[in-house]
Amino acid sequence: MNTFDLLMLGFSEAMTPANLGFCLIGALLGTLIGVLPGIGPTATIAVLLPITFFLPPLAGIIMLAGIYYGAQYGGSTTAILVNLPGEASAVVTALDGYQMAQQGRAGSALAVAALGSFFAGTVATFGIAIAGPMLSSFALNFGPAEYVALMVFGLLAATILASGPVLKAIGMILIGLLLGMVGTDQATGAERLTFGSLDLFDGIEFTVIAIGLFGFSEIIANLERSGSEGVKLAPMSRMWPTREDFRRSWPAVLRGTGIGTFLGILPGGGATLASFSAYSLEKKVSKHPKKFGTGVVEGVAAPESANNAAAQSSFIPLLTLGIPSNNMMAMMLSAFMIHGITPGPSVLTNQPEIFWGLVASMWIGNALLVFINMPLIGLWVKLLTVPYRLLYPAILLFCCVGVYSMNNRIFDVLLAAGFGLLGYAFRKAKCEPGPLLLGFVLGPLLEANLRRTLLITQGDPSIFVERPISLTMLAATVILLALMILPSFRKKREEAFQEEEA
């Protein structure tokens, strides 16, 4: 059978009424938990896992997959509407998306995000179908040394996405790295930076920091700015993107899709990098990089398509090698195992209906999501017309419950309140929290892989330049860094001259 026949087999499996129904349920549920900040797909899927015992294998897996990519979809909604990224991948969407919403262009931002995601999901799904096995064997070439190079590159990308001075962005990344080191050191088992507290033993959760720095501090800042008359948002001017919006997002979506599909296949951390890298690339190639962060549509289109493409292509290592690339995929692996299916090359040959059925259902699910979300945009936008004094208590409640539900402990809620205070201080200091989050996410990966590399080579760092992939990425990092620093030096010198003249 060639790819086309197999794809047809997949569609015939995925189009049965029952499977279609489970796909819809999954996508709906995913959208719901994606919109609710803090409630992540991982916990939801865990609760639903036992239910899938009673479903046929394909139906259960289709539903869980639907929850996963539905949540990716829904996560951007809160990022755009109330500046609350539920997951690492939505942090950059909030940068320009929230600004657009403040200017009354929430509808455009949501529509561009939905359409861009759908396009990216389609491309990535067919990418899995056509080149899945080939891509995954390439991904295996990424050893510890390559990851170090990739993470260094990713951290540099984080400095690009900040619109303020480079030095502040670097400092925020360093604080993120430091926060990522809190907890038990994976390699030696030593407790680090925990103040001796058992609650910090496993480190800090991403959601705690994100909700504190973004959610809580945004609420405090909004209330502070408004004073007694209550926060007012800009009136809704448009529901639908303009032709200009479409013209400008189109290439951004294409680039985002490419980056997302590629980074998504890398096991461990690749998908997180996708939206950050896509945004940074857009800013680099743009003719007006200064406008990023003030509500440009490319700043929504690129990261949204990248994270959806990555969500799809992160299935590649799981389906073709049996290796989950993140926690969600580990959960999917459990779902397969509950049904006695071991994902890997043997599934491709022995049970093609499972692999191809899932691939086909992912495309159908993406299409369903557009149908679900397009009419919802009107509703979401209406939500913004609710007076802020009624809206913010609801956001507070959702944030608190979401943070609590991760580990069922109040400590996380208190910690998030602390990060709210810190976020407030950062605002006063004019420091952007985005790079901090990226440093926090990538830091542990960078440290673990750096130590692993040097353990394997017994302390010889030359491996980084001997391996072609790592050499290429490090070279790209150096060039990018030079490009960034040179203009700012030039500007500094100009300023200095002007001062002297004055």
Partner 1 sequence: MTCLKSLPLAAAMLTLAGAAHAEWPTDRPIEMIVAFAPGGGTDIMLRTLAPYLEAELDAQFPVLNRPGAAGEITYTALSQSRPDGYTVSSLNTPGFLTMQIDRKLRFDPADLCPIARIVEDPGTFIVPASSEFQTLEDLVAFAKENPGAVSIGTTGVGTDEHMAMLQLERTAGIDLTAIPFGGANEAKTALLGGHITAIGLNVGEYATSDKNAMRALAQFAEERSVLAGDLPTAKEQGFDVIMSSERGLATRCEVPEDIRARMAEAVDAALANPEFQAQAKQQSLPLSFQSGADWQAAMPARLDRYRDIFALIKEGQ
Partner 2 sequence: MNAARGDGPDLLTAGLFAGFGALGLWLARDLDQGTMAQMGAGYLPRAVCAGLILLGGVIGAMALRRDAAPIEGMRLRPLLVIVGSIAGFAFLAEHGGFVAASLWLIIAGSLADPGGRWRTVLMLAGGLTAFGALVFVYGLGVQMELWPI
Q: Using CB under 8 A as the criterion, which residues of the chain lie in contact with partner 1 when the complex forms?
A: 42-43, 45-47, 49-50, 53, 140-144, 184, 186-189, 198-199, 201-202, 267-268, 317, 321-324, 327, 330-331, 333-334, 337-340, 342-346, 407-409, 448, 451-452, 455-456, 458
* Contacts of 382 by beta carbon, 8 Å cutoff, 6+ apart: none
Task: Compute how many residues bind partner 2; rule: CB under 8 A.
Answer: 70
For residues 100-129, which are near partner 2 according to CB under 8 A? Answer: none
Q: Which does 267 bind (CB under 5 to 8 A by kind): partner 1, partner 2, none?
A: partner 1
Q: Which does 5 bind (CB under 5 to 8 A by kind): partner 2, partner 1, none?
A: none
- Report if residue 174 touches partner 2, rule: CB under 8 A: yes
Q: Which does 11 bind (CB under 5 to 8 A by kind): partner 1, partner 2, none?
A: none
Q: Which does 175 bind (CB under 5 to 8 A by kind): partner 1, partner 2, none?
A: partner 2
One residue of 247, 290, 382, 389 binding partner 2 per CB under 8 A: 389
Amino acid at 345: P
- Report if residue 167 touches partner 2, rule: CB under 8 A: yes
Expressed in percent and rounded to 5, the helix, strand and coil fractions of the chain are 80, 0, 20
> What is the per-residue binding string for partner 2 in 447-476, x denoting contact by CB under 8 A?
x--xx--xx--xx-x---------------
Instruction: Say if residues 369 and 70 touch (Cβ distance below 8 Å).
Output: yes
Dist. CA 152–CA 155, nearest whole Å: 5
Q: Which does 374 bind (CB under 5 to 8 A by kind): partner 2, partner 1, none?
A: none
Residue 372, both tokens: 């679900």
Task: Tell me how far, at minimum, the Cβ of 436 lies from partner 2, in Å.
Answer: 10
Dist. CA 84–CA 37, nearest whole Å: 7
Residue 339, both tokens: 């049904």
Residue ranges in 83-214 assigned as alpha helix (H): 91-102, 106-139, 144-161, 166-180, 206-210
DSSP string for 278-345: HHHHHHHH-S-GGGTTS--THHHHHHHHHHHHHHHHTHHHHHHHS--SSHHHHHHHHHHHHTT---SH
Residues in the chain: 502
Q: Which does 426 bind (CB under 5 to 8 A by kind): partner 1, partner 2, none?
A: partner 2
- Report if residue 485 touches partner 2, rule: CB under 8 A: no
* Contacts of 50 by beta carbon, 8 Å cutoff, 6+ apart: none
Nearer to partner 2, 142 or 440 (CB): 440
- Closest Cα partner for 465 from 38, 104, 148, 73? 148
| 83 dihedral zone (left: phi>0; alpha: psi -120 to 50; beta) | left
- The neighbour count for residue 421, using CB atoms within 10 Å, is 13
Residue 389, both tokens: 């004094």
One residue of 112, 219, 281, 438 binding partner 2 per CB under 8 A: 219
Q: Which does 397 bind (CB under 5 to 8 A by kind): partner 1, partner 2, none?
A: partner 2
- Report if residue 224 touches partner 2, rule: CB under 8 A: yes
- The neighbour count for residue 31, using CB atoms within 10 Å, is 25
Q: Which does 134 bind (CB under 5 to 8 A by kind): partner 2, partner 1, none?
A: none
- Closest Cα partner for 85 from 446, 371, 414, 402? 402
- Closest Cα partner for 154 from 300, 252, 278, 296? 278
Nearer to partner 1, 242 or 342 (CB): 342
Nearer to partner 2, 60 or 357 (CB): 60
Instruction: Say if residues 93 and 113 touch (Cβ distance below 8 Å).
Output: yes
- Report if residue 405 touches partner 2, rule: CB under 8 A: yes
One residue of 66, 268, 343, 420 binding partner 2 per CB under 8 A: 420
- Report if residue 428 touches partner 2, rule: CB under 8 A: yes
Q: Which does 424 bind (CB under 5 to 8 A by kind): partner 2, partner 1, none?
A: partner 2
- Report if residue 382 touches partner 2, rule: CB under 8 A: no
Nearer to partner 2, 256 or 439 (CB): 439
Task: Tell me how far, at minimum, the Cβ of 334 lies from partner 1, in Å.
Answer: 5
Instruction: For residue 191, give the 3-state DSSP assignment.
Output: strand
One residue of 424, 445, 449, 470 binding partner 2 per CB under 8 A: 424
Nearer to partner 1, 455 or 486 (CB): 455
Instruction: Say if residues 378 and 186 touch (Cβ distance below 8 Å).
Output: no
Task: Tell me how far, at minimum, the Cβ of 451 lies from partner 1, in Å.
Answer: 8
Task: Tell me how far, at minimum, the Cβ of 253 lies from partner 2, in Å.
Answer: 32
Dist. CA 290–CA 214, nearest whole Å: 22
Q: Which does 317 bind (CB under 5 to 8 A by kind): partner 1, partner 2, none?
A: partner 1
Q: Partners of 192 in the beta sheet?
A: 183
Nearer to partner 1, 52 or 159 (CB): 52
Dist. CA 340–CA 326, nearest whole Å: 21
- CA 163 from chain centre, in angstroms, equals 19
One residue of 198, 379, 390, 482 binding partner 2 per CB under 8 A: 390
User: How far lies 62's CA from each of 13, 70, 197, 271, 389, in Å?
Assistant: 11, 12, 41, 21, 40
Q: Which residues bind partner 2 (CB under 8 A)?
A: 33, 36, 39, 44, 47, 167-168, 170-171, 174-175, 177-178, 181, 185, 187-188, 190, 192-195, 216, 219-220, 223-224, 226-231, 388-390, 392-394, 396-398, 400-401, 404-405, 408, 410-411, 413-414, 416-417, 420-421, 424-426, 428-431, 447, 450-451, 454-455, 458-459, 461
